[in-house]
Amino acid sequence: MRVTRGIFLSAIGAVLAAGAIAASVSSAQAQADKTFVMKLGVATINDTQHEWLKRFVAAVEKDSNGRIKGEIYPASQLGPIPRMIEGVQFGSIQGWIGPPEFLVGVDVRYEALSAPGLMNDFDQMVKVLYAPEVEKFMFGLGENKGLEGVGFAPIGPSTIITKKEVKKLADLKGMKIRVLASPFQLELIRRMDANPVAMTLADVLPGIQQGTIDGSLSTLTVYTTMQFQDAAKYVLENDQPYINSIVVMSKRWLATLPPDLQKVVRDNGRKASKEVIPWVKTFFADQYDVWKKRGGVLNRLPADEQAAMIKKVSTIGEDLSKDKPELNKAVKMMFEVANKK
């Protein structure tokens, strides 16, 4: 009787084990067959950020054999930048690309990469952006807040667009100039004797048209791709700071992917970041002619004023971080990388 009972229990165990294996195989198969939607948001359109996303989506869809389906929403279709960032943190949006200054509410160290005076030409910008220590640092900053960095997109030097022509620093005095929500950019405009106004990109063009602001600090590519020329045609090439974008993905969403697809996303983020560089260089250079052909005007400060301005703003990173040890450490690291021979 005991032998029979033992055989019976063994049989039950075998059935349960087989069921568990079958369930496991079924679950794995379901995971393998599942299609994951990857919604990506950006505030701009037809520019470097948009191009980066298109390359990234094409590569991810190919390498995942269609298991990840990418959807790109340019021109703030998913809401203002702060809402898109929140969406990525909560997992309702899978990724966002934009200047890291917009992430200072997540961690103040994000703005270390855009300290005025840090970068002075395209090659130096690329050297800093793609240094292994910079990548590791920047990609990990949002980990405790639901964000994981997977890529960079170099943009280019800042300019100031205005309704009234500006040819010298004195012309900026008292003007209301839009900036990103970054203490470094706020201070930059103050040191030019103008009044900074933090504003998300979607509000800039209406703000200029309605007279809420007199101009904006951004890159030339924003003005050309978003048709600013009818609202303001004067651009001052002040060159500082250099603007770059970071791509952050939802950690919550990444955790739902099987390991092989997580690798596909991360690997292609780095791949797109490197492969887009030649395209960016050509695209940015072309925008000067685009702007002039549309009736836009480009001005530079006199050489002595430009040098004095650079000297004045290059200490902003150190000045504003000296009482914030972690930010100060990050700023120093960026300048060390930039000044390496």
* pLDDT tens for each residue of 46-95: 999 999 999 999 999 999 999 999 999 999 999 999 999 999 999 999 99
pLDDT at position 205 is 96
Per-residue pLDDT at 340 exceeds 80: yes
Burial class (CB in 10 A: 0-12, 13-18, 19+), 294: middle
Mean pLDDT of 251-259: 98
What pLDDT, on a 0 to 100 scale, did the predictor assign at position 181? Answer: 84
Say if residue 24's pLDDT is above 50: no
Average pLDDT, the chain: 92
Write out the CATH class of domain 34-338. Answer: alpha beta
Token digits of residue 232: 């303001």
pTM: 0.89
**Amino acid at the residue 120:** N
DSSP string, 155-204: EEE-EEEESS---SGGGGTT-EEEE-S-HHHHHHHHTTT-EEEE--GGGH
With bands split at pLDDT 50, 70 and 90, how would you rate the model's confidence at 335? very high
Q: Which residues contact 118 (CB under 8 A, 6 or more apart)?
A: 128, 241, 242, 317, 334, 335, 338
Q: What is the percentage of the chain residues whose pLDDT exceeds 90?
A: 89
CB neighbour class for 131 (10 Å; exposed up to 12, middle 13-18, buried from 19): middle
pLDDT at 13 over 60: no
Residue 56: name the closest of 126, 153, 139, 156 by CA. 153
Predicted pLDDT at 7: 52
CA distance 155 to 37: 27
